[in-house]
Structure 1
């Protein structure tokens, strides 16, 4: 079993620092974003298995983009990706790199260090218009750069924003997993509102559990959605208040919050990982015509189910392969990570060059299309020690 529940004693002990919110609460008006559907939208997650989800079921096409590899553009393990019409922006936690949509390397954003605008390890980042927002270990601030590499500003906050997002009206929202609170900031990083969506008790200060699946903020086109992973409810927090957007019937698959609290007080994380293996957490992805739900256990890094819900037919289907099978072009297994979901129009997967080249070594190409042959010829330029290849699934 792959155990991804990590005890962090120093870096994340700083997450729980206090902030005075009550005096500032509701000191500014937050624009209300109207919902497109009648909410809350209830979805039953079926037990019946449909096999593997295939790209032909959900996509118009699939693009494979080899990222240029040189001494300045090497991407480390893990990280996040954001994509707009012209750029691919990647954080490997140690740096932020910009590539053209063709894969050509452009530049690194900022430099490593402790000075103004510099960073050590990147907690989280977001792309909005021509601005990159990010936070770093060792800094209680929000750092902003323009896409042309110019340092805009670094604003002291008093907290390390490990998980944050941007609302449609460009407020900055931080979720503190320890405090179990959402703090809303304006563009000058002044706190203007505080929410505890499910009235969860805050955790002890000394330790934290870190799971890369835990984005908390769920992908939507025109709303900011949020999940604590401890209830069936996905919240719409766009207007500074929690309103139920989706309700999923996870029922007894949800981890009781008391189990987590008890493990913290006992400091028995081995016992916790064994108990947590029996429970699920989900991330939601709101596409144009379909809703995608990605499910995994609390202590394994692989998905164990992908659900699709068709808004027009109101039909939900379950696929238990931990990947989306590309039957349109490559014949590869495309694994989706929650931190790589970029917009309502695309799903993104990183392809390891070693796995890609192993696929190319297969001799049986009988019945393959001309598109496959063209793809294979292009991919044969990739080397084993190159950067990952980005696979973009363009949704219907």
Structure 2
């Protein structure tokens, strides 16, 4: 903990729009992954017309399908459940219930109850597990507290206070463990445009705020007569045993490890970069011609990300070895994404990753939707490098019922 303060102080010294010289612009040849120099300039403005397919076998060794056990106590409803996956467990928040399954999909138990009493919550914003101490931390909505539960028994262990900086919606990966009893918590975009707005806060397991980082873009008092739209989300992800951080509408992805913060990717959007006033006073579907980056996923060779352009959701990736950006060519099937040529299943685009892992990506489907899309006809003509895996998938689909619990797609990335 004593080494945390120098690291936190450094966060304040780096502007969100730092311009860093890089030798990358001089490179035209393909570089080995272990020889790549950082920071990398991602010149979307120049490369925007580039497009390419991406096959799952290029980045992954395998894909597995996990059917969550269906019992009267473990029903997962429709809508948009909140998912969280660790090395040992799958958690899902659905229909006011927080359910725990093992990694094979077997139901274990429910945490807490829907209500306002001790250990109860009416809704939640996010969760994180400390498997070394067998504690699950749940950020409750409306209560301004983090609830603590025993991972093994489900017993309520107490709570500690937090600032109400996350807003009232579940976020993907809103809280991460930095170290022992230390967390970084991302701020919900609805909290923008206030003088005290922080991109994130770092807290301990007593609720003490160890430090926070203000935004050079959004930490100001907005004019009440000007409608402000909170376009762009903050995101933190795990890669190569370190954390990456991106602030919505910024041009830089940062890496921090060993209490140092460094830019690793700088986006040059060129003519596709929208003016700040326009990007924060209009809904994005009202802003043609500009790009809004929205989500990031990373492998050894690629930085993948989603973006909004001309009111539509699109996907692209940056090849670190070539130094080029490509828009992802839509697959022929209904599900746009990375072409699943491993077993011939649906194209894939991650929605979650396993906690503190950069080798496992997660996606999910409702059973009825998967049955409608992954048909016998589809599997009869789809591309697959491993025919044995395709046969396994066919058998899995034959045993799947339309009213089963959701199916987890687990992608095992290459080393």
Matched, 1:354 2:375: no
**Structure 1 counterpart SS, 2:371:** helix
Matched, 1:143 2:147: yes
Q: C-alpha distance in 1, partners of 2:156/2:37?
A: 42
Shift of 1:118: 1.4
Match of 2:298 in 1: 286
**Larger deviation: 58-67 or 137-146?**
137-146
Matched, 1:326 2:301: no
Q: 2:402 aligns with which of 384, 388, 396?
A: 384
Summarize the alignment of residues 1-396 of structure 1 with structure 2, pairs less than 5 Å apart.
Answer: 29-30=4-5, 32=7, 39-45=38-44, 46-76=47-77, 77-92=79-94, 94-129=96-131, 130-148=134-152, 149-162=154-167, 164-170=174-180, 171-176=182-187, 177=189, 178=192, 179-202=197-220, 204=222, 214=233, 216-236=235-255, 243-261=262-280, 263=281, 273-275=285-287, 278-287=290-299, 289-297=300-308, 303-310=313-320, 317-321=326-330, 322-337=336-351, 339=352, 342=355, 343-358=357-372, 359-362=374-377, 365=380, 369-396=387-414
**Deviation string, structure 1 residues 354-383 (Cα, Å, up to 9, x no partner):** 232232342873797233222211222211
**Deviation string, structure 1 residues 136-161 (Cα, Å, up to 9, x no partner):** 22111112223222222211224243
Unaligned runs of 5+ in 2: 9-33, 331-335
**Deviation string, structure 1 residues 278-328 (Cα, Å, up to 9, x no partner):** 4321422233x233321221796x7412304345x6565442324122111
Q: C-alpha distance in 2, partners of 1:299/1:219?
A: 30
**Structure 1 counterpart SS, 2:239:** coil
Shift of 1:44: 3.8
**Structure 1 counterpart SS, 2:57:** helix
Q: Contact 2:269/2:291 (CA < 8 Å) preserved in 1?
A: no
Pick closer, same or farther for the CA change 1:259–1:240 going to 2, 3 Å.
Answer: farther
Give the CA RMSD over aligned residues.
3.5
Relative to the length of structure 1, the TM-score reads: 0.77
Pick closer, same or farther for the CA change 1:28–1:194 going to 2, 3 Å.
Answer: farther
Shift of 1:203: 6.1
**Structure 2 counterpart SS, 1:324:** coil
Pick closer, same or farther for the CA change 1:310–1:363 going to 2, 3 Å.
Answer: closer
**Larger deviation: 378-387 or 199-208?**
199-208
Q: Contact 2:304/2:316 (CA < 8 Å) preserved in 1?
A: yes
Shift of 1:385: 1.6
Unaligned runs of 5+ in 1: 1-25, 264-268
Shift of 1:394: 0.6
Pick closer, same or farther for the CA change 1:157–1:84 going to 2, 3 Å.
Answer: closer
Q: C-alpha distance in 1, partners of 2:329/2:43?
A: 16
Pick closer, same or farther for the CA change 1:142–1:69 going to 2, 3 Å.
Answer: same
Q: C-alpha distance in 2, partners of 1:27/1:204?
A: 37
Shift of 1:61: 0.7
Q: C-alpha distance in 1, partners of 2:220/2:198?
A: 6
Q: Contact 2:342/2:389 (CA < 8 Å) preserved in 1?
A: no
Shift of 1:132: 2.2
Q: C-alpha distance in 2, partners of 1:389/1:383?
A: 11
Shift of 1:64: 0.9
**Structure 1 counterpart SS, 2:178:** coil
